[in-house]
Structure 1
Amino acid sequence: MALDNYYDILGIAPSASSVDVQKAIAEKRREWTPRTGHPKLETRQLAEQTIRNIAEAETILLDTSKRRDYDQQLAARVVAPELPRTGSTQERDWLQIARDYLVQGNSAQANYAAREATNQQTENPEAWFVRGLSSAQLGAYADAEFELNEAVRLNPNDASYHAELGDLYKSNGLWAKALAQYTRASQLEPSNVYYSAFVGLSEGALGNVEKAHDILKKAFEKLPGDDTIRYFYGLTLQEIITRTWSTYHDGSQSILTENQLNHSKEKLAVIDALKISDIDFRNDVNEIRVNVERAEQVKLWSRDGLGGLVAGEILTVVAMLNFFWIGQGFVVLGLLCLGLAVLWIFLWVRSHRIPGWKWNWKQSSAFVRQTGLQ
């Protein structure tokens, strides 16, 4: 029985830590889960097989004992040579062979067979699609872009071709191109929630956060139990929070108004309700939460002027005692000094014991105060 290389499947090194394994598993699931509902049989089968492989990798690589045994098996594995096949290349269905290899997870063989298929059927969009899919799996992005564009050229009304091309652009950070392809896929197949979700993700990556939020919120409302869409929605909510904060000259941000604080708390509650378990996501949320809690906290943020207050209090108390000691009409002045002593303490505490957001506001320049949600 063949031994799957889970490290290759997850795209990590055999020396990867458990944390790195968990991150890779989460990323791969987000990448492949949407494809389990793909209209193309071969893509759907590949996605289903990949999800099964990811689950197996999770079971083995996150168990110390199982991982040790697996590593020993992997190190001892000998790859047998591929036996040559007989028969005329013209008699064989290379497209089906490519699909079969793709489902088996053998991207290299799938790519070879798909090349034969495109040679046999130069105007067959499916052949170009499978070839592009296998090239993408091999990391040959330039080849994959050309091949998937050929599939789109030959059949521009297939939403899955556009979506796959969008995935390729997304994986390379070409968000404007990805947006164009996802938008076209969504137009051709409006009922596919994943297509619209990826439109929202692309809008967010391009800085159109409010638009991304609205799109992803609708996608989440349609598929509230989907981990991928919840994750995308959560990312947008994080951006929605921090973009309302005030920005300093060095690019750092802080909460300077009560509206910023309340808005952040409201969106944090929505994020918490999503119950996203991704480690990096939770760390980012916790950083936001620390800033929100600091902005909400009421305490003495500075002892500035405390020395002057103490000196003034001493002088006032001394004067008060002198007036009381003299007596007669000076008692009123003594009481006035007592009142002043209490008033100065009250005013000093009131000006220094404030919410964190108000302290941030007091410490910021007029320019910074004008940024963010007012």
Structure 2
Amino acid sequence: MKTVVTVTPNPALDQTVRVANLALGEVNLAASLEFNAGGKGVNVAGCLADYGMTTIATGLLGAEDAAAFDAMFADKHIVDRFVRIAGRPRINVKLVDTARNETTDINLATSLPSAADVDALERRVVELAEPGRWFVLAGSLPPGVDVSFYRRITRALHAAGARVALDTSGAPLADALRADEPDGLPDLVKPNRAELEAALGRSLADDDALIHAACELVERGIAHVVVSLGERGALGVTRPSGDKASSYEGWRAAPLRVPVSSTVGAGDALVAGLVASLIEARPWPSVGQRATAFAAGKLARVGPHLPDHASLDALAAQVELVTFSVAANPPRVTQHQAV
């Protein structure tokens, strides 16, 4: 099984408080309190490790109060290559209303890395690069880190023959998508609708607009574009090789209705499923089904955890997925097929 490296510049300690019928401005009795090592890349690493993939986690981590991270890495046999910096990991408070299946996030400020810290992380990432190895660059950037960080790292990783998945938002995503050179573009990107609209600077009101936007990104050089749609599932577009090189291949996956313990990290589990499926060389529709199963499997758990392979197989078999092809000039949906 190939090794995956996750890069989390801004990890967090997730404090999850579960309350039935949360009442703002009132005294609430919590049903439970749980601490989990978090941050998008850390969550991806946890899911990949549960799936059985050798996983290396790096990023910038406050050296104080990092016990939850140390425990997670040891428990899941994740190789810890984080650059330790002064201060504590930021704390993200997750208020989970178990009656309404709603989660309210309260994200606190993070420790500030120095320029030397950021340089050390960039060197470490390059040291870990190998031809064909997947890197997942995920999450926000700490204050003071230039928005071009992910684009620079992507270029360096491609120079070493590695492959890159990017899951971020805001200015770092917009900067990455504006890369002029192909080597600065990731191989896989997974924004949600709002993040993609902000990065492209236009509204994407319906599925056709989303599909056309995804095709534009594939045309620019991003091999795999997946847009997460929350309760409406996800949509993925790629460009097949061979005789169909003049068209795009896509899928639209409906979410599975499963018991929900926490929605936190479901998108990260989706990313883990995408990367794992691409490593396994699954057909593109199967990638969508497997990634959706990862997200559904995580929903039943608080923290970055997955069920066993048999359970994931069963979930993937239940995913309702519609495939389609899109003519390249101009992009136009030409076929739909239920899977």
Which has the larger Rg?
A: 1
Structure with more helix by fraction:
1
Normalised to the residue count of structure 1, the TM-score between the two structures is 0.27
Structure ranking higher on relative contact order (CA contacts 8 Å, 6+ apart): 2
Structure with more strand by fraction:
2
